């Protein structure tokens, strides 16, 4: 099939109304592509969720770089509907832990979690104790912006919010791992208390909470496997 496009992008009319620039693409030789892909996979394949962190400080610049990387994610209509709120404040981290454990006690001890869910997470050994929320040097909460608030107070719709924020979250996790930091995707349910503690507006909704730091020396992780390629990939 030829590279001829009947409807080129951008059209002359579109380019006359909105700015465009030539994409600066530097092609990589195929052997190098293979090596880079293998190296990236090998590195990411060592990523694990950590539940015991060292309290050793982590430079703020690293957190900011991870957020900048996450913000390269594609998003619906390029609305970038995410907010990252980071804290290393001890009082705030304690407040988050207290509120999260209160919700999780209901989940684990008062059977708000159904039997299927409890069975699914049994190999992970999780419970309502969330000490890592205080011990990890950083907590970053990712909020999804359900809509934007214009200067006049009106609401501006965002599109494909969860899909966009989910992609940003994945890039955030990958960036942290690449720089040698560990994290955990923590989603206490419900999470409305995070809006109150972190003083976020009503158009934002918590998507995920990330404790971030170095893993504690000797920390263990569950011996679980990732699905093989033939379980997740189909070629037609």
* Residue 132, domain member (yes or no): yes
Domain hosting residue 103, numbered range: 49-215
CA-closest candidate to residue 155, choices 197, 192, 204, 199: 204
217: left (phi over 0), alpha (psi -120 to 50) or beta: beta
DSSP label at residue 124: G
Residue at 17 is within a domain? no
3-state secondary structure of 156: strand
Tens of pLDDT, residue by residue over 121-163, are 888 878 888 999 999 999 999 999 999 999 998 999 999 999 9
In a domain, 12, yes or no: no
Contact (Cβ atoms closer than 8 angstroms) between residue 207 and residue 143 = yes
In this structure, is residue 21 part of a structural domain? no
Identify the band that residue 68 occupies on the pLDDT scale cut at 50, 70 and 90.
Answer: very high
> What's the domain count of the chain?
1
Residue 131 lies in a domain: yes
- 64: CATH: 3.40.109.10
Supply the pLDDT for residue 122.
81
pLDDT greater than 80 at residue 111: no
If you count DSSP H runs as helices and E runs as strands, how many of each does the chain have, helices first?
Answer: 9, 6
- Which residues are within 8 A (CB) of 216 and not within 5 positions of it... i.e. 6 or more apart? 50, 52, 53, 54
What's the pTM value of the predicted model, to 2 decimals?
A: 0.94
Classify each residue of 153-180 as buried b or exposed e, where b means 16 or more C-beta atoms within 10 Å of its C-beta.
eeeeebeebeebbbbbbebbbbbbbeee
Peptide bond just before 23 cis, omega within 30 deg: no
The sign of the CA dihedral 104, 109, 114, 118 is positive
Q: Which is nearest to 127 in space by CA: 95, 98, 92, 101? A: 101
Q: Give the model's pLDDT for residue 106.
A: 80
Whether residue 143 contacts residue 81, with contact meaning beta carbons closer than 8 Å, is answered with no
At how many degrees (to 10) do helices 161-178 and 30-44 cross? 90
In a domain, 207, yes or no: yes
Residues present in the chain in total: 236
Decide if 13 is inside a domain. no
Token pair recorded at residue 22: 């030539």
pLDDT digits (tens, 9 = 90+) for 81-93: 999 999 999 999 9
Q: Does 190 map to a domain?
A: yes
């Amino acid at each position: 099939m030829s590279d001829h496009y009947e409807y080129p992008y951008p059209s002359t009319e579109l380019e006359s109304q909105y700015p465009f620039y030539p994409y600066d693409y530097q092609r990589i030789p195929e052997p190098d592509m293979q090596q880079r892909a293998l190296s990236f996979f090998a590195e990411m394949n060592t990523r694990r969720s950590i539940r015991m962190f060292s309290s050793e400080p982590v430079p703020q610049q690293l957190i900011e770089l991870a957020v900048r990387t996450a913000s390269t994610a594609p998003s619906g209509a390029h609305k970038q509907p995410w907010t990252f709120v980071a804290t290393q404040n001890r009082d705030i981290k304690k407040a988050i832990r207290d509120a999260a454990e209160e919700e999780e006690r209901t989940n684990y001890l008062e059977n708000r979690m159904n039997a299927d869910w409890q069975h699914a997470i049994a190999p992970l050994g999780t419970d309502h104790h969330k000490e890592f929320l205080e011990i990890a040097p950083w907590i970053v909460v990712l909020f999804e912006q359900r809509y934007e608030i214009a200067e006049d107070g009106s609401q501006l719709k965002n599109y494909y919010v969860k899909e966009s924020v989910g992609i940003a979250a994945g890039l955030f996790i990958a960036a942290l791992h690449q720089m040698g930091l560990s994290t955990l995707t923590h989603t206490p349910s419900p999470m409305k208390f995070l809006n109150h503690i972190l003083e976020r507006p009503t158009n934002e909704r918590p998507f995920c909470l990330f404790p971030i730091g170095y893993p504690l020396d000797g920390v263990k992780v569950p011996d679980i496997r990732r699905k093989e390629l033939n379980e997740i990939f189909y070629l037609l």
